[in-house]
Structure 1
Amino acid sequence: MARTFEDLVAEADSVSVEGWDFSWLAGRATEQRPSWGYQRMIGERLAQVSAALDVQTGGGEVLAGAATPLPKVMAATESWPPNVAKATALLHPLGAVVVADPDEPPLPFADRAFDLVTSRHPVTVWWEEIARVLRPGGSYLAQHVGPASVFELVEYFLGPQPEEVRRGRHPDDARRGAEAAGLDVVDLRFESLRTEFLDIGAVVYFLRKVIWMVPGFTVDAYRDRLAELHRQIEREGPFVAHSTRYLIEARRPA
């Protein structure tokens, strides 16, 4: 028997959304993964350096699963207190120090401190700071969210967005920012990836967790639209959107 709208929504509205682990969505949503395999890539790079920094590490899940052992000097930054606690518990046993940082310049590290800086889905990238903390010949290797990511869902709730909003986070802008900071962009790849929400609970959980998609989202504020989307999914099948991702590597000249 199909679960009711109220049951699905109540469950998704009550579970924890701390950290950056999306395992609760197993069987409820699917997302195509980028072909380059970011976690594997940074694992290979971490094995080759002596000092590395993971910026905006979230709950530390990506870094923890990337490499064993971690470099001799391994630091991570995070701004959201629940994630700082989670990342600390996960990464300290692996030899990484987690630094609570507001994600605003300056980074709390000395000039030329790291061979490698990584970040998965940073909210903001401060290119001058990345360049400052990299040693000559060091690299920034990251996977960023691209423009208009999952905007089918965003625009379902918020309506059509202006072109300047849809174009935000464009990889061309990242290239210009990196080069303006004195870095050489040596790799830049972009992909659009199919995402499916199989029930309304998945939508609620996703919007509670990824809070910048629909700012101020709550079930009560959007109950009517959620109910309409629930009926659409029951009638037509999964709600399909497209996430956008790009891989960027920028190197500080030797």
Structure 2
Amino acid sequence: MGNASRGFEELVDEAAAVSVEGWDFSWLEGRATEERPSWGYRREMSRRLAGASAALDIQTGGGEVLAGAEKMPSVMVATESWPPNVAKATALLHPRGVVVVADDDEPPLPFADAAFDLVTSRHPVTVWWEEIARVLRPGGTYFSQQVGPASVFELVEFFLGPQPEEVRRARHPEDARRAAEKAGLDVVDVTAESLRTEFFDIGAVVYFLRKVIWMVPGFTVEEYRDRLRELDALIRREGAFVAHTTRFLMEARKPGGGSSDGGGA
């Protein structure tokens, strides 16, 4: 899509040099596409935030998703562990009245019991269910979009080879349901989708693997240059490399307290 005339080395060098800070994927515009989930997480998150009095966004990244909310509750806090993202999220969210807390993403969360009536999180790396249950008020809601099992594994397995079943099954929504229930939350809804993802040039692949570091752990251009050349040839031959992203939407509620300010399906 516009880069077919550019050579392998040029595309790879460009993608290897560009910044991958934050959680903004606009650099991939025209170079890769990912089908969006049907539920519209940002819109639904925004609606719930508008009805909350105190909310927490866990693993906010650079704050880009939270910043899209139309209205913030009177108390709005976000946590993030990676220092460059902490700085970026603070600059982006502080003008909206959001306090960004640098947190190691290990329990306990640095908040008192029953501090929030809404906890949100988009694509958390780890979910500490007991801590979420602890910081939610009775009747409070947890609302999250998460990466599902074997997401973009066509790309992962191109570089790493076939993965064992336990790795392919990790992050299964039913496991999340059981973990939430074990922590004492009532699961309101779990919805999962598989979404078509296309990479139109090898630079897009390099950028993606540099940014989403857990896909191919320890990825470097030097280490995988031969496989990158093979993938470059495949993309030029077929026009794109096709993979499938998996996502699931989850809403859970802490029992008691009547209806939640931040809840609602």
Q: Does the pair score TM above 0.5?
A: yes
Partner of residue 36, structure 1:
39
Partner of residue 190, structure 1:
192
Whole-angstrom CA distance in 1 between matches of 2:133 and 2:205: 38
Alignment deviations for residues 76-129 of structure 1 (CA, whole Å, 9 cap, x no partner): 000000000000000000000000001010000000000100000000000000
Partner of residue 245, structure 1:
247
TM-score (norm 1): 0.99
Partner of residue 229, structure 1:
231
TM-score (norm 2): 0.95
Report the secondary structure of 2:188's partner residue.
strand
Equivalent position amino acid for 2:56 in 1: L
Report the secondary structure of 1:77's partner residue.
strand
Equivalent position amino acid for 1:204 in 2: V
Whole-angstrom CA distance in 1 between matches of 2:234 and 2:51: 50
Task: Identify which of 37, 41, 53 aligns with 2:56.
Answer: 53
Whole-angstrom CA distance in 2 between matches of 1:116 and 1:189: 19
1:203-222 counterparts in 2 under 5 A?
203-222=205-224
Indicate yes or no: 2:79 matched with 1:74. no
Alignment deviations for residues 145-186 of structure 1 (CA, whole Å, 9 cap, x no partner): 000000000000000000000000000000000000000000
Whole-angstrom CA distance in 2 between matches of 1:145 and 1:66: 21
Indicate yes or no: 2:141 matched with 1:120. no
Alignment deviations for residues 18-51 of structure 1 (CA, whole Å, 9 cap, x no partner): 0000000000000000000000001000000110
- Find runs of 4+ consecutive structure 1 residues off by over 4 angstroms: none
Indicate yes or no: 2:106 matched with 1:104. yes
| Paired residue total | 253
Alignment deviations for residues 117-142 of structure 1 (CA, whole Å, 9 cap, x no partner): 00000000000000000001000000
Report the secondary structure of 1:136's partner residue.
strand
Equivalent position amino acid for 1:31 in 2: E
5+ long unaligned stretches in structure 2: 257-265
Q: Between the two proteins, what is the percent identity of the paired residues? A: 79
5+ long unaligned stretches in structure 1: none
Whole-angstrom CA distance in 2 between matches of 1:152 and 1:119: 26
Equivalent position amino acid for 2:147 in 1: V
Whole-angstrom CA distance in 1 between matches of 2:59 and 2:130: 16
Report the secondary structure of 1:214's partner residue.
coil
Indicate yes or no: 2:201 matched with 1:199. yes
CA RMSD, Structure 1 to Structure 2 (Å): 0.6
Whole-angstrom CA distance in 2 between matches of 1:32 and 1:233: 19
Whole-angstrom CA distance in 2 between matches of 1:20 and 1:57: 9
Equivalent position amino acid for 2:95 in 1: P
Report the secondary structure of 1:149's partner residue.
coil
Partner of residue 25, structure 1:
28
Partner of residue 133, structure 1:
135
Whole-angstrom CA distance in 2 between matches of 1:92 and 1:67: 15
